[in-house]
Chain A
Amino acid sequence: MRWTTCLAVAAAILLTGCSGAGNWGWYVIDPSTPAGYTNIQFLLSGFGATILVSVIAAILSMTLGLIVALPGMSQNRWLRLPSRIYVEFVRAIPLLPMLFWVFYGLPVVLKSIGINVSIDAFWGAVITLAISDSAFTAEIYRSGIQSIAKGQREAARTIGLSYGQTMRYVILPQAIKRILPPLANQFIYIVKMSAFASVIGMQELTRRANELVVTEYRPLEIYTLLIFEYLVLVLVISFFVRWLERKMGADESR
């Protein structure tokens, strides 16, 4: 259903573009010409960076989210407080300002406390995406873990399990079914937001499209292709999310 709609839209755009009138210039990305082939290769080679930055950011975000979520569920309000503040704070910051702050500001802060590292565009994007997304993954963990009945934790306690053992052997194995599908879904958000990394000069899909537009003056064709590049990526991921949801759902009703 979704696929056919996409194909229909794509076909419509291509047909209007190719049929005469001359406003469209698909030659820029026509792989049958040497120049077009080079251009398309240049654009598509941004996939690697987009995927890599997204995957690393997602892994960091999942880790960071868990570290934030666990104290957020404590009985102790002083443990809970920093976690709540983190989530509210990070959720409130738009991605682009945070990206600028991390890329231009963070190295200065680090330097002032004696850590001399430069942050390149790639790591600037990874750090920003990971932090920004971690507020959401933390909430996913929290709701997943809290959906497991209190009695499970109490029973674990009465048989002498520590907090860590209770999480590992009792709570997380049950909560994982409610956590994984929304986490995978969150990955789509990261992929889309990674486009912002173009403004700090990271060579991913969007940056490459921008650079080619500057030399070829063909924004319509190039950005159309860019949109389809993201569309393919996101559709593949959401296909995986559906599969995961079905698999977890089937497990649940066992």
Chain B
Amino acid sequence: MDTAKQAIKIRGLNKWYDDFHALKDIDLAVAHGERVVICGPSGSGKSTLIRCVNSLETHNTGTIIVDGIEMKDEVSINEILSEVGMVFQQFNLFPHLTILQNLTLGPIKARGMTKAAAEERAMKYLERVRIPDQAHKRPAELSGGQQQRVAIARSLCMEPKIMLFDEPTSALDPEMISEVLDVIIDLAESGMTMICVTHEMGFARKAADRMVFMDQGEIIETGTPEEFFSAPKTKRCQTFLNQILQH
């Protein structure tokens, strides 16, 4: 696959927290429009990996190229940040702002859009995540599922080319998981490039082009969902799948 076609290209990535080797020689390429699901036991480095992609964590060795831009200095990092959206497990909405203000803050302050244009865009994405009627409430007045959908809309307002999701449904009550996954599937079907860390295997089967399994800071196995679920190649991956599919 030639580099120009790739949305994300990671080569030889290593990351240490002091003495702890959190990411070990990670190689991963994601094509434009591809949907990758990362899974693996807790503490295996999934969050650290996707947080390296938008420089929320610094890496020690290796290269990260996002949409042809190599991450090296402040300038390239800012360019990369403007192409990558991120949704967190804990939503991280701004509690002192209304939903609408949460969505328009980035477009107005970081992109210099007018308030009117930013609000129009915000409403468009609130429709898309199916909560336009909540625009003037504050985050604390919304359910967890609604808050996470607002967080997705907030990212979309920056019109990123790539979306990263770090366990977007892990902090949700079970009955709210599907309303958030439906929004993400919708987004996947619209052709958005995405990396999603999740243990929702039903969702992975439906939305993923490729599965990546990590353990102890390494990528152990990658494959299409069919291969991955029906015939995992490694013992570690089999054990992991047995554990989570039992529930």
Q: Which residues of A contact B (CB under 8 A)?
A: 149, 151-152, 154-162, 165, 169-170, 173-174
A159 touches B92 (CB 8 A): no
A173 neighbours in B (Cβ, 8 Å): 96
Q: Which of chain A's residues has its CB closest to B90's CB? A: A151
B151 neighbours in A (Cβ, 8 Å): 155
B229 within 8 A of A: no
What are 9 A-B contacts defined by CB distance under 8 Å? A149-B92, A151-B88, A155-B92, A157-B54, A157-B56, A158-B84, A159-B110, A159-B158, A162-B110
Highest count of chain B CB atoms <10 Å: which of A158, A160, A165? A158
Interface string of B106-119 (1 = CB under 8 A from A): 10011100000000
Q: Which of chain B's residues has its CB closest to A159's CB? A: B106
B154 within 8 A of A: yes
B110 touches A161 (CB 8 A): yes
A156 neighbours in B (Cβ, 8 Å): 94
B82 neighbours in A (Cβ, 8 Å): 160
B56 touches A170 (CB 8 A): no
Q: How far is the CB of A174 from chain B (nearest CB, A)?
A: 5
A149 neighbours in B (Cβ, 8 Å): 90, 92
A160 touches B110 (CB 8 A): yes
User: Which residues from 65 to 104 on chain B have a C-beta closer than 8 Å to any C-beta of chain A?
Assistant: 78, 81-82, 84-86, 88, 90, 92-96
B85 neighbours in A (Cβ, 8 Å): 158
Q: Which residues of B contact A (CB under 8 A)?
A: 54, 56, 78, 81-82, 84-86, 88, 90, 92-96, 105-106, 109-111, 151, 154-155, 157-158
Q: Which of chain B's residues has its CB closest to A166's CB? A: B109
Q: Which 8 A-B residue pairs are closest in the complex by CB-CB distance? A: A159-B106, A160-B110, A155-B92, A151-B92, A158-B86, A165-B109, A173-B96, A160-B106
Known: A159-B154, A169-B105. 15 other contacts (CB 8 A): A149-B90, A149-B92, A154-B56, A154-B88, A155-B88, A155-B92, A155-B93, A155-B151, A158-B56, A159-B155, A160-B110, A160-B158, A161-B105, A170-B94, A170-B105
B94 touches A157 (CB 8 A): no
Out of B84, B92, B96, B109, name the residue touching A174 (CB < 8 Å).
Answer: B96
B154 neighbours in A (Cβ, 8 Å): 155, 159
Q: How far is the CB of B129 from chain A (nearest CB, A)?
A: 16
A157 neighbours in B (Cβ, 8 Å): 54, 56, 81
A158 touches B155 (CB 8 A): yes
B110 neighbours in A (Cβ, 8 Å): 159-162, 165
Decide: A160 near B81, CB < 8 A? Known: A154-B56, A169-B105, A169-B109.
Answer: yes
- Cα A154 to Cα B106 in complex, Å, equals 13
Q: How far is the CB of B47 from chain A (nearest CB, A)?
A: 11
A165 neighbours in B (Cβ, 8 Å): 109-110
Q: How far is the CB of A165 from chain B (nearest CB, A)?
A: 5
B96 neighbours in A (Cβ, 8 Å): 173-174
- Cα A149 to Cα B157 in complex, Å, equals 23
B93 neighbours in A (Cβ, 8 Å): 155
B105 touches A158 (CB 8 A): no
- Cα A56 to Cα B55 in complex, Å, equals 42
A158 neighbours in B (Cβ, 8 Å): 54, 56, 81, 84-86, 155
Q: How far is the CB of A193 from chain B (nearest CB, A)?
A: 34
Q: How far is the CB of B44 from chain A (nearest CB, A)?
A: 21
B158 neighbours in A (Cβ, 8 Å): 159-160
A154 neighbours in B (Cβ, 8 Å): 56, 86, 88, 92
Highest count of chain A CB atoms <10 Å: which of B56, B84, B90, B106? B106
B105 neighbours in A (Cβ, 8 Å): 159, 161, 169-170
- Cα A236 to Cα B221 in complex, Å, equals 69
- Cα A158 to Cα B92 in complex, Å, equals 11
A170 neighbours in B (Cβ, 8 Å): 94, 105
Out of A161, A162, A169, A174, name the residue touching B95 (CB < 8 Å).
Answer: A174
Q: Which of chain A's residues has its CB closest to B82's CB? A: A160
- Cα A162 to Cα B88 in complex, Å, equals 19
- Cα A165 to Cα B111 in complex, Å, equals 12
Decide: A155 near B94, CB < 8 A? Known: A160-B82, A160-B158, A165-B109.
Answer: yes
- Cα A53 to Cα B88 in complex, Å, equals 48
B56 neighbours in A (Cβ, 8 Å): 154, 157-158
Q: How far is the CB of A162 from chain B (nearest CB, A)?
A: 8
A160 neighbours in B (Cβ, 8 Å): 78, 81-82, 106, 110-111, 158
- Cα A152 to Cα B92 in complex, Å, equals 6
- Cα A182 to Cα B183 in complex, Å, equals 44
- Cα A160 to Cα B78 in complex, Å, equals 7
